[in-house]
Amino acid sequence: MPTVTGHPPVPVDRAPARRQSTRRPSPLGRPSPEVTSGEEDTVSPPQPPAATPPRRSDRSPWNWLLIVPIVVPLLVPLYNQRDPELFGWPFFYWVQLVFVALGVLTTGLVYRMTRRSKADQAVSARAADRPTRDGGR
């Protein structure tokens, strides 16, 4: 064993080299399927779900109505004036409170018109209660 003058010999590690793992780390610290199945380098194919919940679409034409309470307050020349006053408040201020009410009413209307039916809600609830492949995690 070679030595450097003035220093004791350094032991050489003769342990066998470890094989580099090709597995990617599992998200959120959960064991990967290879670890839980006991078989390394093999993964079981994904199994199709028993019943799929109804596809939820956010492409309802009612959603376009939500643009109104966004665009109308941006058109300042329409309400940039003092008269008519309401309880001593200039038009410029009280009409902005009307815009808040317009936003609330529009959002409520779009929500009611795009709400899923009771049957779709029941199917989604059953799909959420169904156990998953990975044991509910």
- Residue 89: domain span: 58-129
Q: Is there a domain that residue 124 lies in?
A: yes
As a whole number of angstroms, the distance between CA 38 and CA 40 comes to 6
If you average pLDDT over each of 16-30, 49-63, 92-106, 111-125, which comes out highest? 92-106
**Number of domains forming the structure of the chain:** 1
The predicted-structure confidence for 60-93, as pLDDT tens digits, reads as follows: 899 999 999 999 999 999 988 998 999 999 999 9
Q: Is there a domain that residue 47 lies in?
A: no
Q: Is there a domain that residue 28 lies in?
A: no
Q: Is there a domain that residue 83 lies in?
A: yes
As a whole number of angstroms, the distance between CA 57 and CA 93 comes to 38
Q: State the pTM of this model.
A: 0.49
Q: Cβ neighbours of residue 1 under 8 Å, at least 6 residues apart?
A: 9, 12
Q: Is there a domain that residue 3 lies in?
A: no
Q: Is there a domain that residue 125 lies in?
A: yes
Q: Contact 124/53 with Cβ under 8 angstroms?
A: yes
Q: Is there a domain that residue 53 lies in?
A: no
